[in-house]
Amino acid sequence: MSATDSTITPLPEADKLTKKALTADHPTWCPGCGDFAVLAAFYKMLERRQLPHENIVTLAGIGCSSRFPYFVNTHGGHFIHGRAVPLASGVSLSRPDLHVFLFGGDGDAFSIGGNHLEHGSRKNINLTYVIMDNFVYGLTKKQTSPTSPLGFRSKTDPTGAIDQPVNPIKKLLAAGASFIARTHSTQVNHMIQMMERAMSHNGFSVVECLSECVEFFPGAFDSGNPRKGGDFILIEEKKWDGTPEDELRHDITDEIAAYKLANLPFPGMFGVFYESDRPSKNALEKKWIDATRAKLNEPSDLELLQQTFDRMK
């Protein structure tokens, strides 16, 4: 069974997953931080889905957003900087009964952990990764991040950033992530929707969530926030209804079309860019394990090792 085959066992009323049951330590984020809304959306989604409480795992690397696991009352782990993808992959690959959620920032995902994001995507590990992208290093107090725009003034680029920023969606597409979406922390319902679709996807599902750092990069995402005079433009997905307007809608299985959307100038569009149903590593490894064991007639561990040693006599 894969972690997203959500055969939900109904829980007794007392164990119902409520926001109260899911709340842990009070978040240590600065007042006004976009991450509060991401946390609220995560609670909401879990309340809606009613997964068995003990089967939810919340993991993170290092950064402001990576404090997430302390604020969620589920099994969780706070790992080292950049390596949370392989950690979460180990949990996912060895425990199909669990729902693995990973939270982190742009430094974790695109800088120190860039290689792991690449290979987690390529291997198509079954987990959901929410990248809370604030375009700045906040925990260490305003250094340039891999997504900081050109010209951004930080303590490490006092005259403005000169390195071309990473385009997260393009990077994920090239790496082979099988579900890629983008959302904005001021749009709570959209965040819930994206997280829920990501969770339901069987494979490496990533949601880039623009989440403002009010302390070190205030106003960074105003251009995507209608309340601040910006445009929150949604990707319209194809309905396959044969209508002429459907021609203009986005085919989420079309990688090239997804690249084109990802290339739009900031703030770009929001929604699902890409989804592919190629098999996850979890499924492929399981297939291999099952076939191997079937061929050997489901031996006991002792029989197996004894046979190996008999061959070495």
Applying CB under 8 A, does 238 fall inside the site for other proteins?
Answer: no
Exposed, middle or buried, 289 (CB in 10 Å: 0-12/13-18/19+)?
Answer: exposed
Task: Give the integer Cα–Cα distance in Å for 111 and 184.
Answer: 21
Which of 21/174 has CB closer to other proteins? Answer: 21
Q: Is 70 helix (H, G, I), strand (E, B) or coil?
A: helix
Applying CB under 8 A, does 306 fall inside the site for other proteins?
Answer: yes
Applying CB under 8 A, does 197 fall inside the site for other proteins?
Answer: no
Q: Which positions from 103 through 122 interact with other proteins, judged by CB under 8 A?
A: 115-116, 118-119
Judging by DSSP bridges, how do beta strands 143-144 and 179-184 pair with one another?
Answer: unpaired
Which of 24/257 has CB closer to other proteins? Answer: 24
Select the residue interacting with other proteins from 98, 136, 169, 194 (CB under 8 A). 98
Applying CB under 8 A, does 53 fall inside the site for other proteins?
Answer: yes
Least Å distance, CB 297 to other proteins, is 11
Select the residue interacting with other proteins from 37, 51, 57, 198 (CB under 8 A). 57
Applying CB under 8 A, does 249 fall inside the site for other proteins?
Answer: no
Applying CB under 8 A, does 65 fall inside the site for other proteins?
Answer: no
Applying CB under 8 A, does 79 fall inside the site for other proteins?
Answer: yes
CB–CB of 117/131 below 8 Å? no
Q: Is 180 helix (H, G, I), strand (E, B) or coil?
A: strand
Applying CB under 8 A, does 292 fall inside the site for other proteins?
Answer: yes
Which of 154/282 has CB closer to other proteins? Answer: 282
Applying CB under 8 A, does 74 fall inside the site for other proteins?
Answer: yes
Segment interacting with other proteins (CB under 8 A) among 34-42, 251-259, 265-273, 284-292: 284-292
CB–CB of 237/225 below 8 Å? no
How does DSSP assign 79-147, residue by residue? --TT-HHHHHHHHHHH-TTSEEEEEEEHIIIIIITHHHHHHHHHHT-SEEEEEEE-SEETTTTSEE-TT
User: 């569009």: which residue's tokens?
Assistant: 269
Applying CB under 8 A, does 29 fall inside the site for other proteins?
Answer: no
Task: Give the integer Cα–Cα distance in Å for 33 and 150.
Answer: 23
Select the residue interacting with other proteins from 30, 36, 40, 75 (CB under 8 A). 75
Task: Give the integer Cα–Cα distance in Å for 281 and 284.
Answer: 5
Select the residue interacting with other proteins from 69, 105, 203, 224 (CB under 8 A). 69
Applying CB under 8 A, does 177 fall inside the site for other proteins?
Answer: no
Interacting residue ranges for other proteins, rule: CB under 8 A = 21, 24-25, 53-55, 57, 69-70, 73-80, 82-95, 97-98, 115-116, 118-119, 285, 288-289, 292-293, 296, 299, 301-302, 304-306, 308-309, 311-313
